[in-house]
Amino acid sequence: MKFIKILIILFILSLLTLGGIYYWLNSSLRTRVQHDKADKYITIEKGETPNQIIGRLTSEGIIKSPMATQIYLRTFGDANKLQAGEYQFDSPISPLQVLEALETGKQKTIKLTIPEGWTRFDIAKRIAAKFPTNPPIDEKAVQYLMNDTSQIKVIDPKAENLEGYLYPTTYHFPLNTKPQDVIKRMVDQFKTTWKPEWTQMATQLGRTNQEIVTIASLIENESKVAAERPIVSSVIYNRLDKQMALGIDATNVYIAKLLGRWDGVINKSDVEINHPYNTRKISGLPPGPISSASESSLEAALNPAKTDYIYYVLDVDKNDGSHNFYASAAEFEKGKAKYQKWLAEQRNK
């Protein structure tokens, strides 16, 4: 009887041990870890053993659980599937995702990240730097390629260039990709993001697709907080309904970039200039988009919140990029005074 009890205890201990090992192994393999090598290419040479590969990726900080990775590879994986090549590992990434990349033989690519709110001028500069050609072309030549609007005629038949239609995200391109192919891919991504029903929603709002993309580009520049973008959108619509000037500084920045004189500061001449993009002087929308907008901003442009707000100013108490919104000029002036006081303090620091 005593012997049976010992066996039962040993059996339970074995189960607990196995359970603990399984939990540790599963957690180690699936936990995604941050590393600082996301922009670096790691070369896996032909003939390297799995232990050498895992060891090097561990030293690079890409794998944080080498023992668990080795156990998995020996027990459940197939070391013969690991392929030589040049790899760029995303951050964060799990050991299982690393092994999956090594098994698929993902080859070296050019990583292109286009932040939300960038203009076509910013994008052209980055494309020219990332995708050199022979003979070389500069950002002006890339901008010229962006004048071909044939890809977006269905969405915006009146577009004069691709401003607003170069979707902002991270792309991976094969080596030797041409700038025109990069541009095509970005427009294709915009067309994929633009849902078929959005055209009908724009019509119901009494707006063209181009106007929606324009409003989205304004929202993108005004707020980086996705949750408040529908409210920013409502302010824009409310001002348009009242025929009030939008007064969005990002349009003055865009004018400076259009004229090739942007120096990082909005100058008095940028504010006072008579120009169709100057929303301090015109009472409607500018002639077209001023940047590439995210899906969140596009949705906000199509789904403005129902408010009576016509003003907003940065919320200096939260200091998280969000805004306070106002329906009256008097309340706005109080909020504005508080913001200007805070701004002066920041400059003194």
Residue 106 has pLDDT above 90, yes or no: no
Residue 5, domain member (yes or no): no
Separation between Cα atoms, residue 230 and residue 226, nearest integer Å: 8
The two three-digit tokens of residue 257, written as one number: 């970039």
Residue 317, domain member (yes or no): yes
Q: What are phi and psi of 7, to 5 degrees?
A: -60, -40
Q: Answer with the one of 72, 88, 107 that is the final residue of a domain.
A: 107
Question: Residue 194: how many CB atoms within 10 A of its CB?
Answer: 21
Residue 236 has pLDDT above 60, yes or no: yes
Separation between Cα atoms, residue 222 and residue 216, nearest integer Å: 10
Tell me how far the alpha carbon of residue 219 is from its chain's centroid: 15
The two three-digit tokens of residue 337, written as one number: 């005074």
Give DSSP secondary structure letters for 124-143. Answer: HHHHHHHS--SS---HHHHH
Residue 150, domain member (yes or no): yes
Q: Which pLDDT belongs to residue 280?
A: 94
* Amino acid at the residue 76: F
Radius of gyration of the chain (CA): 27
- Mean residue pLDDT across the chain: 89
Residue 42, domain member (yes or no): yes
Residue 7 has pLDDT above 60, yes or no: no
Mean pLDDT of 230-253: 96
Residues 209 and 279 in one domain: yes
Residue 126, domain member (yes or no): yes
Among 210, 212, 211, 217, CA closest to 153: 210
Instruction: Write the CA distances from 330 to 256, 313, 333, 335, integer angstroms.
Output: 32, 13, 5, 9
Mean pLDDT of 40-52: 83
End-to-end CA distance of the chain: 79
pTM for the predicted model, two decimal places: 0.73
Q: Which pLDDT belongs to residue 254?
A: 95
Residue 61, domain member (yes or no): yes
What percentage of the chain has pLDDT greater than the value 90? Answer: 55
Mean pLDDT of 110-131: 95
Angle at 330 between CA 326 and CA 335, to 5 degrees: 60
Q: Answer with the one of 193, 217, 237 that is the final residue of a domain.
A: 193
Residue 15, domain member (yes or no): no
Per the structure, the count of domains in the chain is 4
Residues 119 and 47 in one domain: no
Angle between helices 229-241 and 209-222 (to 10 degrees): 120
Mean pLDDT of 175-203: 95
Read off the pLDDT band of 15 (50, 70, 90). low
Instruction: Write the CA distances from 95 to 23, 78, 268, 278, integer angstroms.
Output: 15, 14, 54, 51
Q: Answer with the one of 169, 193, 217 that is the final residue of a domain.
A: 193
Residue 63, domain member (yes or no): yes
Domain that residue 320 falls in: 311-349
